[in-house]
Amino acid sequence: MTKSNFPISVTIFLAVQFISIVGEAQLSIANTEFKTLATAFAHREEATWLDLSKQGLTELPDSLFALVNLQYLDLGKNNLTTISGKIKNLKKLKYLVLSYNQIKQLPDEMRELTLLQSLYLDHNKNLEIDQAIIILANLPSLKMLSLAGDNISVVPKSITKVKRLETLDFSENTITSLPTNIPELRQLRVLYINNDAFFNLEKNIRLISKMKKLKELHIENDGITSLPHNINELKQVEYLFLVGNKISEIPAEVNEMKRLRILDLSDNPLPPLLDERVLDPKVIIRLNRKN
């Protein structure tokens, strides 16, 4: 494949009504699929959505950067090791997927994507996290960041420089503790630390409790055998997901989580009698079992 051409299977859509790509709003897109590049690029001023995932790309074609009105770009599951600095031309990007590649560094030019709201960098096992954060700290609109499966064992304290984050995913890493300054992410509402057998929930509760806007916490498939008694410090958490652990009882301290609305303990070895147990009439307890 030459740098000037897309794979033949690429799909480009025209947005008739673009409401939002992230959050609770909906995305409305016309089902206009172009079968040839010539037709697609004849309408490149209107193209806002582009899926180039699973194309076997090792580099990005230059023609991509002519689609200056793109708001959604999926480059996931390719063989990319670098991202061209020409990505700065896509200044209207709000949603960028770079998952499942072999990216090591982000280009400095990414700083110019000032409208970018959601970035998926997950499953890039060679990603230089410190270098990436330097770039991400300059993205004023970035609210959602996935660093899942990026071979992270220590979260850099510099993560707090990405100040506007509302959702952060550290799943599938080998993190034992969060950095002591993590409460400085004052806008963070949702945190994922799933599939990490090294994560020590009890030792991190005090830090997490200081994240005053945190409403949703996912600690799933982490091999947790019991809920720590200091779980009651998470008074700000409304949705607690502990799916797929090894928890066999619910401590009374859960009653002291006054804002808790959903406690998901699905696929844990809890006694059947707990199916009827209600800790608080306002709390929905999920106890679904796989069998």
- The structure tokens listed for 261 are 């609305």
Judge whether 50 and 29 are in contact, CB under 8 Å.
no
Number of domains in the chain: 1
Residue 193 belongs to a domain with what CATH number? 3.80.10.10
Exposure on the CB side of residue 160, measured as CA atoms within 13 A: 11
Judge whether 126 and 150 are in contact, CB under 8 Å.
no
In whole angstroms, what is the distance from residue 22 CA to residue 177 CA?
A: 29
Domain for residue 7, yes or no? no
pLDDT in tens, 264-284: 999 999 887 664 445 677 788
Which range is least confidently modeled, 37-46, 185-194, 200-209, 219-228? 37-46
Domain for residue 4, yes or no? no
Domain for residue 5, yes or no? no
- What is the full DSSP assignment across 239-266? EEE-TTS------GGGGG-TT--EEE-T
Question: 96 pLDDT band (50/70/90 cuts)?
Answer: very high
> Residue 291's pLDDT is what?
53
Residue 181 has pLDDT above 70, yes or no: yes
- The structure tokens listed for 279 are 């800790």
Residue 140's domain spans which residues? Answer: 50-286
Q: Considering the chain, what is the average pLDDT of its residues?
A: 86
Which range is least confidently modeled, 31-35, 202-206, 269-273? 31-35
Domain for residue 277, yes or no? yes
pLDDT above 90 coverage of the chain, percent: 67
Domain for residue 15, yes or no? no
Domain for residue 267, yes or no? yes
> Residue 2's pLDDT is what?
38
Residue with the bigger pLDDT between 23 and 147: it is: 147
Domain for residue 201, yes or no? yes
**Average of per-residue pLDDT across 124-142:** 98
Domain for residue 43, yes or no? no
For residue 22, what are the CA distances in angstroms to 71, 96, 130?
A: 11, 11, 26
